[in-house]
Amino acid sequence: MEKSSPIKYLLSHRKTVLNAYKENNQKASAAWGDLTGKSPEIARVMGMNTFKQYLPLLKAFNDELDKVIQDKENVIQKLDNRQYDSFSIEKQLHLVTNGLNEVILDRDNVIQKLDKMELQNTEICQKVKGLESELDKIIQTGAKVNQKLDKHPKRVNSWTVQKSKDGYYRCYRKIGKKLHSVYIGKSFEIEKAKKRIAEKERGLG
């Protein structure tokens, strides 16, 4: 079965959607939760963001349509009561017909706007996916760069270089059956390591 577009679905279920909107104090998110709970089909047709974008246009279209329908009912009522002559009634019917034609035209314009918004939404989603892909590449490249920057010599002047779990570099060496350490810092610099090792060795004699 062909999948219904968001526009067709909203127009086909106009009263149900707008009643949910009204019952939830005109809060789109609350109306969406109510509708998806009662009719899960809407979630298969569109997402909540699309629903929020289309809802104001649907309400504006519905208000205009209700106004024309009310005008038409008023004319019919006047016809039934025979309160107006044929010329006045014909004139009012003409006005109502023109109003209905304008509503139909407005409906077509609304559908065109909704189609355009749907296309823009699709394009935005595609751009977001592209940006996410580029971001993943940047993150992976950054990780590789960090791995390269994190490389350090295993030994400096017979002292073993290690990066501790706390993220700091230290050099170790066993002298006279005792293990000694030299603190280097958060980043490893060969010249700084040599200098501190020399100071440590001088202190040890």
Domain coordinates of the chain in residue numbers?
A: 6-125, 155-204
Look at residue 1 in the predicted model and tell me its pLDDT: 43
Q: What does the pLDDT average to over 172-201?
A: 88
Q: What does the pLDDT average to over 94-98?
A: 78
- Dist CA 25 CA 33 (whole Å): 13
Inform me whether the pLDDT recorded for 91 exceeds 90: no
- Dist CA 73 CA 51 (whole Å): 31
Q: What does the pLDDT average to over 3-21?
A: 86
pLDDT band (50, 70, 90) for residue 86:
low
Look at residue 81 in the predicted model and tell me its pLDDT: 62
Inform me whether the pLDDT recorded for 3 exceeds 80: no
What are residue 117's phi and psi, to 5 degrees?
Answer: -65, -40
* pLDDT tens figures, 38-72: 888 888 889 999 999 989 888 888 888 888 888 77
- Dist CA 83 CA 77 (whole Å): 9
Percentage above 70 pLDDT, the chain: 85
CB atoms under 10 Å from CB of 187, counted, come to 12
Q: What does the pLDDT average to over 161-184?
A: 88
Inform me whether the pLDDT recorded for 10 exceeds 90: no
Tokens of 48: 């909540």
- Dist CA 32 CA 48 (whole Å): 7
The whole model's pTM is what? 0.38
Look at residue 129 in the predicted model and tell me its pLDDT: 77
Look at residue 149 in the predicted model and tell me its pLDDT: 45
Question: What's at 8, amino acid-wise?
Answer: K
Least confident of 42-46, 95-99, 158-162, 191-195: 95-99
Mean pLDDT across the chain: 80
